[in-house]
Structure formats: C-alpha cells, structure tokens
Structure 1
Amino acid sequence: MATTETQLLEPKRIRKNKPKIRTAEHPLYDGEAILFRTPPSGNVWQFQMWIKEEQEYLRRSTRSKDLNEAIRVGRDLYLDTHSKLRSSEAVFPKSMREIADKFLEQKQAEVGINKSQGRWVTIRSQVKHLLEFIGEKTKITDIPQNKWELYYQFRRTSHPSVINATLKNETNTIRSFFRFAISRNFISYTKLPEFQSLPKESRKRQAFDVDEWKTIYTFMRSNQWMKNESGKVEEQRFFIRQFALILVNTGVRFGEARRLQWRNIKITQEKSSEENTERVVKISLDAEQTKNNKARIVIGRRGDVFDRLKKYSNYTKPNDFVFVDNDTGEQIVRDSYYKHWNYLVNATNINENRQESTFYCLRHTYATWRLYAHTDVFLLARNMGTSVKYIEDHYGQTKQELMVGHLTKLFDKDEAGQFLFD
C-alpha cells in the first residue's frame, strides 16, 4: 500500500509501556513499606520501600506466594534497611568498579595539591591490582572479611618478584580506598581491611661499580646501540643515553627526569680546579614534578649534556619537555625507556653478577659515589630530595676505609677519573 502525504506528515505514535497491574497490596509499618503482587511476578509477593536519603525505591522479592511468609520477610527487610540507615551504610551496594572510578577521580583532583602526577599513576596501578583481586563487578558489601588473608598470595602468584615494601604500600592504598568508601557511606567502618604484618626487608641498594658503569656507557656509545634501521629507535636511544647520564650525575629520580622542562634548567660555568672549568647544571624542580610533592633545587655535574640535548631536540621552548618525541613534542613514553634499557641489560649481560640493573640503580650510583667523595650527608639528602636518615640507612654501611682506598686508586689516573662520569 502506497504511503500518502498525509501519513508522512503525521507524527509517529509513541508506544507507552502499560503500567504493571498490582493484583494485591499489603501495607507494612503504617504504609512506610508495602507488599504487592503483579501477574508478571507469578503472584510472588514483592517488597517496596522509599529510601528518602538516596531518593530511590528499594524493591526486593520475598520469594514467597504465601502472605504470612511474605510479611515476615518484608519486616526483616524493613528493619535491616533502617539499621543500615542508622549506621550510615548505603542501602544500594556499589560495585568495586563504581567506587574505584570515584576514588581515582578524587586522587586525580589532589595532583598538584598534595600529590604528584607520579604518585597518582602509582595509586592507579595499585587499584588495578585490587580490582583484579576482588573483581570489578563485586559489590563492596559482599567482600568477606577473611578475603584479605589471600592478598599477598594473589600478588606473589601473579608477580613472584614483588617485594614486601611494595605490598605494604599497596595495602596502605587499599585501606585508603576503603576509608574513602566509608566516608561516602558505601560501607560501615567495620569493613576496613586488616592485613597480616610483613617482616621488614633489608634491601641493599644496587649501585653500579666502576666497571659496570663503564660497561653501560661504552655500550651506549657503540654502533650496536646508536645505529639502527629505524630512525625513531636511534632518536629514542640518543635521548635515553643522555637520560642515563643525567640520572647518574644528579641523582634525580626516573619520574622527575622524565618531567623535566627546559624552564627547569640553568647551566653555569664553574671552576673545578685552578686550571679547569666545568659546565654545572642547576635544576629547579617544581613541587608537582617531585615524588614527595616538595619543590627543590638539584645541583649536578655534566651541564654539557643539556647543551647536547638542546642542539638535538626540536622542542626547546621553556615549557617543552627535555626528553621528547622529536616529532610530536610529547614525553617519551615509559615503555620506550624500559624497552631500550632491557635491550642494553641483555646485550651486555650486566645482570650476570647482580640482583638487579634498573634505571633506579643510576640514582643509587650517584649517592654512593658522592659519599665516596665525602659529600656532606645533609647536602646530599637535600639534593636527592630525601632524608638524612634514608641516606644513612641505605648507604652508610659501606666501610669508609674501602671507599677512601678505592677512590684514591681511581683518581690517581685522570683518564679513569674522567671516564667514570663522562
């Protein structure tokens, strides 16, 4: 049948769902709650109650067609709901995913106030582990209290190398997550997780010795590192080579170095001896660029590395990143650093006689060699953005006699002394 012009002009009718017909009702507690039946429910009695605090109806099935049994179930539901309201507990349980989104949103808002961007990234990673352990769709009210006894086992099964310090940091974030849920009345305070205590680990900081650093730096100057069929790989490895030099000569953290912008950098020419001068770098880190959210000034050697970077980089305006993708001006992604560093570690077999060889070892190398040179511990701690106690706890065990003897032997040869941090 042809469609007429009149039919085309007529508005389409909107079908409205017919309201469900209640075949029976029974009030509870003077009408504050109600039991009712509808044909679609198979005449099973349903419970309904208006929750003013959350502006939503609570509906539950009594799972019974018998009115007396339905009344008993309905009264229990009413009393349980009022008990939750009195204890400021949410009537409608939230899923772990829903709470995680709200929690991370709040933590993101704290960046630049009392948290650094790096800290937020860590929290996001820790929450990811939490969701994997509990399940994103799991209601927070459904987590059994003994569930937390299995958390360490879960983490070590998926990541066998995880250390106790990392697990302790994760449990602190999980407890913060649950305190957030408590503050939003999603759960009661009794649901706060309790974890087993972990023994403290004495983890020696893995600094590189002279020969190991020589191996790293020599490889970074070789064609095997610098020459590649991909121009992008060569570009990234150039930047990462300079990145390693900055870490080992200034002691800045991995994340702090990645966030460096040209406005943070000032180079001066300083006398290193009566005959020689040296390019010294002064790095002014803003609070949001540091791990502990405290601004600081870092003084270090090898200011000439920044001169080299500035000549190579396409992005050298004050707010441009020092370590960039030369095509986009964006930061070099973290995965690229680790990919190329792991290539170096495997190619040099440097891990053969070591527990670990990471970017962070360069910071430890800086601290160790500054102590060899008798740098004041207070000044060293301030330069590294840590405490004197941390320096003494992690680096103070080395025998002074060994350090002095090794240092003297090293600096008897100018060429070797220069090579250490060249």
Structure 2
Amino acid sequence: METHKIQEGKLRLYRRTDGGTWQCATYWKGKEQRKSTGEKELDHAKAVAEAWYLELTGKNRPASGRTKPTQNPRTQTNSNETHKILNGKVQLFRRTEDGAWHCSASFGNSIQRRKSTKETSLALAKEVAEDWYLEMKGKARAGELEQEKSFAEAAEKFSEEYEAVTKGHRSPKWVQGHKDRIRLHLLPYFGTKPVSEISAGVAQEYRAHRMTQPEDWNDEDGQKLWKYPARNTIHNEIVTLSMILKTAHRHGWIEQIPNLSDPYRRQSKVEHRPWFTPNEYKQLYKATRENAENPKSPRYKWHAEQLHDFVLLMANTGLRPDEVKHLQFRDVEIVVDDWSGDRILEIEVHGKRGVGYCKSMPGAVHPFERLLSRERLKTVTTEDGETTEKLATPEPNDIIFPNEFKKMFNNLLAENDLKFDRHGKPRTAYSLRHSYICFRLLEGADIYQIAKNCRTSVEMIEKHYAAHLKDMIDTSLVNVRREKSRRTVNEDSKELRE
C-alpha cells in the first residue's frame, strides 16, 4: 500500500490499490479521522487533504488555551462557509454543505460578477477562482466587461420586441407562453448571467437541471409527486432561449449564436396521428345520434344536437377544430358539384394558414342544413331598452358552433371505449380531421388534391397518414415478376413429360 506523509507527518495519504483514489487520515482528539479525497492524482489529493486537515483542526481547536495559527494574508476565512482570497478581492462561498464552491468579485464601476467553480474541494476551487478573476480583470481593463449585457436584459428586450412585432400575426396566448417560460424557468436559472457566457454546454446543463428533481422537494410534506417535464416542454423552453439569444445577436451583444440542439436526442420514429377507423367512426356517430335523440337531461338537448352535427361536419370536411371554431354561416355555401352532380359545401376557411378554401363531401350538407334551421337563444333589446333572450334562427354573421362541448364529446368517447387508440394515444376533435384524410386515401383520392383541400403539405400526409395505410401499397407495382425465357419454359415442359 502506497503511503505519503505531509504536514510534518501529522497527515497521511494512502491508497489501497494502484490507480485508486487517495485516502487521508490523521489522529485528532484521541480518535483516528479518515476521509476520501476523491482524487486519483497525488498533487490534487494533497491539496484536498491539507484543506480537510486545516478545517478539521481549526473547527475543533478550543477558543482559549492555545495560540491561533497564523493566517495567510492572501486567504481570510469566516464561520459562514465563506473564504476570501487575493487580499479579499475574491470571495468563495457555497450554499449547502458539501456543495460546489462559487466565487464572486467586483470589477470596474462596482460590477458584481459570480461564477460557479464546479469544485467541492476548497483548494481546487481557489485555483479556479484565481484564474477566473485574472481573466475578468483583463476584460475589465479592455472595457469589454462594462458593455456586456445580462440574460435578464436580453430577455426583457426580446419580450418587448416580440410582442410589438408579432401583434396581429401571433395570438396573445402564444406570446404569453414565451413570457411564462421566461418568468418561470429561464430567468430563475440564468438571471444576471452575462449573455455571452451562455454556450451550448450551459444550455445542456439547463436541460439536466430541468430533468432533475429539486433538492428541497419533499413528497412526504403533502406536496404533489415530482414529475419530470415532458420533452416537448423543455424543447419549447430551449426555443424561447434561442430566440432571446438571436435578439442579443441582432443588437451586437454576442458575436455568434451557440448551437442549442439536443446532442443526445435520437431520431424520433414516425408515428401516425390518432384517427377513427371506418367501423369506429360509425360507432361514434351512432353514439352522438343516440345522445342527440335521448340526452341525459332535456337542457342538454340543443348541445347534443350541435355535437352530432359537429362530428359529421368535421369528418366530411377535414377542417381543423380552430377553423371550425371561427366558422360563420356566411362562410359556407351549398353548391352542386360539377364532377359528380352531388350537393356539397364550399367553405371559406379562416385559420392558422390564413384564408383558404375547402370543398366538402356530400355527407356534410344535411348536418349544415340542420344547423341553419336550428333555433338558438339570442339576446335582443326591447323598445323599453331592456334586454331579453328569445329563440331565433341564426344570422349569416353568427358563429356556427358558439359553444364548446369538449366535456360531452370526451364522455361519449369514454363510454364507447373510443378515447384511446390501440397505441394508447388519446383521441380528440382533431382525430376527426385525421379520419377524413385517411378515409380519402383509402378511397384512392389524389394525395395532392387532399393536401390542397386540407391546407397542408403532401409531405405531412405521406409522413403521418399514408405510411400506415395498407391500401396505399399497390401490389401490381410491388409484386412484379420477370417473365421466364422461352428456353426455360421448354425445359420445364420436357421435365413434366418425362
């Protein structure tokens, strides 16, 4: 066993195996004290052992009866886990016992800077802090430090610009989502950190931080069980971080934007969207029809009828739920199709792609006619100036579906065992759009025309819909066989005759 003695033989370093970590031991107050340095290099182990020995002996030495040891003028220590080096110019501190040491110093016009040394050893933390101080001192002399912006300043600038520039193009809810991510997650982590110090490595540390349970979280104190955030949640936070860094780059606060892509993310497999098979869709509209005829309560009858027509309209048009939400009666017109002679709906769609057009299947006409003739409560003002409600047929500028029936729709799905598909994915109103696209593909419709009618791309349909439909594989093009030559046919016939 290899052994070394330091501190005039009072402190011993040893390791049990070659290449193992160094242990240190000393005899103090009638007891043998031991500790692992956690280091495999002897020089680093000596520094850790000396810091441990001085801390041990200084902590247990009585206040009177002995002479206090002389203190290095370059290092001052107090009882709050804080150390000062370089004549008090740099402070080292740690927030928790056995945690990593942090360093702080003032530069220029009292600009306070902080940095984590990422070292739990005081001796190694001092070396990191000294190197950091000299580097920052050089920047301060060159005038680079005072011009540096913090992440908080860049985030504030981004919030101001993004809300003003995207007004009318992005919904207030979307803009508020960025603000919430900044307030709840990004600012508490990055805070006053200089924006130039945010690198790809720092972003990866942030990902690890978000996926790690907080130390002060205690499930036994009545708090909810800690649940790590979804991958998409962290992705959205990194997107917001990237947009903030782009803002800083536009204003010249950083020279380049770091690569914030996830280094460990594998290529996610392509999965189909949850949809209703033809049999499941038939089961669904029968359930909504039964619910419309016999609702659980008479006061729900109007909403149940609206839900039934909503399902039929969605499955025969392929509209998105948000597009149907903004649809007015004046946006829909019943016309005769030139190709088939059937009556169909021509719809002017206002959605996330702007203004587009859609031509429905014939099955959407009767539900729309019922919606046109169904009376609804309207608020009217009498001659006396009082407001009252009365039943009236809808006007052209009325919203077709003014009320939401999400709860009723989900309850019907659950009652008929249709809420989840075979892969465990939940079905929503969006699944009716997916079903429309799949039904058109199964019937052999042109994929380009489907994409045009649904205001999406051919690539999206091929990726998320066509890939899992067996009818999209043409066996006449797949199971092709080369014809046998005449010589081979004659040889086969001869073998049969013999």
| TM-score of the alignment, normalized to the shorter chain, above 0.5 | yes
CA offset at residue 199 of structure 1? Answer: 1.9
Aligned length: 310
- The equivalent of 2:208 in structure 1 is 150
User: Secondary structure, in 3 states, of the residue corresponding to 1:296?
Assistant: strand
User: Secondary structure, in 3 states, of the residue corresponding to 1:199?
Assistant: coil
Residues 150/159 of structure 1: CA separation in 2 closer, same or farther (3 Å cut): closer
- Taking structure 2 as the reference length, the TM-score comes to 0.51
Residue segments in structure 1 that go unaligned for 5+ positions in a row: 1-46, 50-57, 63-71, 326-331, 405-422
User: Secondary structure, in 3 states, of the residue corresponding to 2:444?
Assistant: coil
Residue segments in structure 2 that go unaligned for 5+ positions in a row: 1-105, 114-132, 214-225, 379-393, 476-498
Deviation string for 1:180-234 (max 9, x for gaps)?
A: 3443567664567453344222112222112211221122122489624483x54
- Counterpart of 1:324, as a letter, is P
- Are the counterparts in 1 of residues 150 and 193 from structure 2 also a CA contact under 8 Å? no
- Are the counterparts in 1 of residues 276 and 431 from structure 2 also a CA contact under 8 Å? yes
Aligned match of 2:346 in 282, 294, 302? 282
Distance across 2 between alignment mates of 1:146 and 1:320: 50
Please give the residue correspondences for 1:371-390 in structure 2 after superposition, counting only pairs within 5 Å. Answer: 371-390=441-460
- Counterpart of 2:471, as a letter, is Q
CA offset at residue 282 of structure 1? Answer: 0.8
- Taking structure 1 as the reference length, the TM-score comes to 0.59
Which structure features the higher share of helix residues?
1
Distance across 1 between alignment mates of 2:227 and 2:178: 14
Determine which structure has more spread, i.e. the larger CA radius of gyration: 2
- The equivalent of 1:295 in structure 2 is 355
CA offset at residue 77 of structure 1? Answer: 11
- Counterpart of 1:247, as a letter, is M
Q: Does 1:370 align with 2:440?
A: yes
- Are the counterparts in 2 of residues 220 and 226 from structure 1 also a CA contact under 8 Å? no
Please give the residue correspondences for 1:22-421 in structure 2 after superposition, counting only pairs within 5 Å. Answer: 79=140, 82-84=143-145, 89-90=148-149, 93-94=152-153, 98=156, 101-102=159-160, 105-106=163-164, 108-111=166-169, 115=170, 117=171, 121-122=173-174, 124-125=176-177, 128-129=180-181, 131-135=183-187, 139=191, 141=193, 144-150=202-208, 153=211, 158=227, 162=230, 171-183=238-250, 189=256, 193-196=260-263, 197-223=265-291, 227-229=295-297, 231=299, 233-270=300-337, 278-285=342-349, 289-291=350-352, 293-301=353-361, 302-312=364-374, 313=376, 316-325=394-403, 332=404, 336-337=405-406, 339-351=407-419, 354=422, 355-356=424-425, 357-397=427-467, 398-400=469-471
Distance across 2 between alignment mates of 1:353 and 1:93: 44
- The equivalent of 1:24 in structure 2 is none
- Are the counterparts in 2 of residues 269 and 280 from structure 1 also a CA contact under 8 Å? yes
- Counterpart of 2:144, as a letter, is S
Residues 367/102 of structure 1: CA separation in 2 closer, same or farther (3 Å cut): same
Residues 350/76 of structure 1: CA separation in 2 closer, same or farther (3 Å cut): same
Which structure features the higher share of strand residues?
2
- The equivalent of 1:14 in structure 2 is none
Distance across 1 between alignment mates of 2:157 and 2:471: 52
- Are the counterparts in 2 of residues 253 and 360 from structure 1 also a CA contact under 8 Å? yes
- Are the counterparts in 1 of residues 331 and 347 from structure 2 also a CA contact under 8 Å? yes
- Are the counterparts in 2 of residues 249 and 300 from structure 1 also a CA contact under 8 Å? yes
Deviation string for 1:24-69 (max 9, x for gaps)?
A: xxxxxxxxxxxxxxxxxxxxxxx999xxxxxxxx77689xxxxxxx
CA offset at residue 384 of structure 1? Answer: 0.8
Instruction: Give aligned-pair identity as a percent.
Output: 21
